[in-house]
Amino acid sequence: MSNEWPLRSSGLRERTATAVADPVLRANVGAATDRFRDKRTSALARIHDPDALRSAARGMRGDILSSWAETLELLADNVLANGGHVCWAPTGDDANAYIASVAQRIGARTVVKSKSMATEETGLNEALAAVGCDTVETDLGEWIIQLAEEHPSHIIAPAVHKNRDQVADTFQARAGMVERVTEPTELVAFARRELRRRFLEADLGITGANIGVAETGSVVLVTNEGNARMVTSMPRVHIAVMGAERIARTWDQADLVLGLLAKSGTGQALSSYTTVLSGPRREGEADGPDEFHLVILDNGRSDIAGTEFAEMLNCIRCGSCLNVCPVYHQTGGHAYGWVYSGPMGAVLTPLLASQGGGHDHHAGELANASTLCGACMEACPVEIPLQDLLLGLRRRNAEHAGRAERAMWRAWSAAWSRPAAYGASATLATRARRLGPLLGRLPGAARWTDGRSMPTLPERTFRQRWDAGDV
């Protein structure tokens, strides 16, 4: 994880406060996530027993990951049998180095990409720039944020934090838009023209992978813009970068994931394009690249297997937990400071950041970006107990907590595990009521009183009233 990410250079509170103070951001994120959420609700209402489907998907993901290594081997064998190449990348740097070496070997100058969170994770675009490649994102949202030099703020809608006026600003300032247009269809038409040119000149196409299907050595890509089809068919070489957990053994399993993915994410029955790629172009085929490479990215994933957090590997990256999260709703994704945001990001980021056994305080702090309201757990199509995982991460943070925080909880526990001391502390609180407004000036009180009134303490505790026979 590069130090340039906001995760490393700022604190969670600072980032959430900045986001919350931006009314345009909140309006954009709120409107978009409300729309996704409502569409999800109606999409699930159209199928029979969605909860049974979610349970089945959870079980299926668990089955796949119980023979994870074996299934990955099968996938790799079949990719090779189809005439493709396979790179096993233990880290993001390994993935980037492999991809850069391919780019250099084929003399690539222009690289086109379709949306891939895995390559955001590895910082691939910077690595390609370092070997002289001009990399162009072709997913509309990704292109917008690439032009704006920002990071994705949502795993399926990277520019969800921007409205069309802001997009037009970006196109004018960074993409040479001369005549300003702000209608979505016109903005899309502009992007289409610009990107079409880049597709035609590209030597190398890079995509992510929504699912790797082991039994046929295939990669499934899900998009709504068709750009992944251009990326995988126009350049001579196609590289797919797949998070190592994104596999299915069989097409039946892939089918179950595909059915839930679009319904949960965007509320579509299926996304506009579902593209299946099984190796390079064969003799007699009209389309397809000369070379196909599959990069299987670990980057901390295998460390998660077998731990209390293993279910996080079941995530199918639909984004529904972001859309229902009341915290994300206020802050958008940048407040999380890294690639992944919302509840899944708050769980996955600390796990990936602690690969090799270290503890990353910056990433660990993300577990606090939740009220534990449980909306994410209820929405997850593979029933990941996100709330329980957040609690697990908080326990892990507690093990690394500073002396002051530990001492505070120990003192609290010592007092409140003794009824007499508990009663005394309650009585003390009623006495403190005479201090009135002074309480609001105690160190740290502003964390409550900025924007909220101070609660009025009662004259007598419940126990005092009970003992006095006044109840």
Partner 1 sequence: MSGPLPGSADDARRVALFVTCVGELLDPDVPVAAVRVLRAAGCTVDVPEGQTCCGQPAWNSGFTDDAAAVARTSLDALEGAVADGADAVVVPAGSCATMMRVYWPQLFALAGDEAAADRARLLGTRLWELTELLDALPDDRLPLGSVEPCTVAYHRSCHMLRELHVAEQPEALLSRVDGCDQQVWAAADQCCGFGGTFSVKLPEASVAMADEKLDVLPEGTEVIVGADASCLLQLRARAEARGMSVTTEHVAQVLERALPDAGA
**Residue 450 interacting with partner 1 (CB under 8 A):** yes
Site track for partner 1 across 21-50, x = CB under 8 A:
x----x---x--------------------
d(CA 322, CA 329): 8
Shortest distance, CB of residue 415 to partner 1, whole angstroms? 9
Show the 3-state SS of 115-175: CCHHHHHHCHHHHHHHCCCEEEECCHHHHHHHHHCCCCCCCCCCCCCCCHHHHHHHHHHHC
Shortest distance, CB of residue 340 to partner 1, whole angstroms? 18
**Residue 302 interacting with partner 1 (CB under 8 A):** no
Site track for partner 1 across 402-441, x = CB under 8 A:
----x--xx-xxx-xxxx--x---x--xx-----------
Residue 91 in tokens: 């880290």
Size of the site for partner 1 (CB under 8 A): 65
Of 18-26, 65-73, 153-161, 242-250, the window that binds partner 1 (rule: CB under 8 A) is 18-26
d(CA 280, CA 293): 9
d(CA 235, CA 62): 36
Given the complex with partner 1, which of 280 and 345 has the nearer CB atom?
345
Given the complex with partner 1, which of 107 and 437 has the nearer CB atom?
437
Of 201-209, 215-223, 238-246, 451-459, the window that binds partner 1 (rule: CB under 8 A) is 451-459
d(CA 137, CA 152): 12
* Closest by Cα among 252, 243, 238 to 212: 243
- Integer CA distances (angstroms), 455 to 35, 429, 439, 443, 448, in order: 36, 12, 10, 16, 10
**Residue 447 interacting with partner 1 (CB under 8 A):** yes
Please, where are the H alpha helices in 202-270?
227-233, 251-265
**From the list 109, 359, 395, 441, which residue makes contact with partner 1 (rule: CB under 8 A)?**
395
* Closest by Cα among 283, 271, 290 to 205: 290
Of how many residues is the chain composed?
Answer: 471
Given the complex with partner 1, which of 91 and 368 has the nearer CB atom?
368
φ, ψ for residue 111 (rounded to 5)? Answer: -120, 130
Shortest distance, CB of residue 237 to partner 1, whole angstroms? 44
What torsion, rounded to 10 degrees, do the Cα atoms 431, 432, 438, 440 define? -140
Classify 277 as helix, strand or coil. strand
Site track for partner 1 across 351-370, x = CB under 8 A:
-----------------xxx
Given the complex with partner 1, which of 282 and 406 has the nearer CB atom?
406
Residue 179 in tokens: 């005549």
Of 12-20, 104-112, 161-169, 342-350, the window that binds partner 1 (rule: CB under 8 A) is 12-20
**From the list 97, 373, 439, 440, which residue makes contact with partner 1 (rule: CB under 8 A)?**
373
**From the list 68, 88, 273, 448, which residue makes contact with partner 1 (rule: CB under 8 A)?**
448
d(CA 290, CA 235): 9
Give the residues lining the site for partner 1 (CB under 8 A): 12-13, 16-17, 20-21, 26, 30, 326-327, 329-331, 335, 368-375, 377-378, 391, 393-399, 401, 406, 409-410, 412-414, 416-419, 422, 426, 429-430, 444, 447-448, 450-455, 457-458, 460-463, 465-466, 471
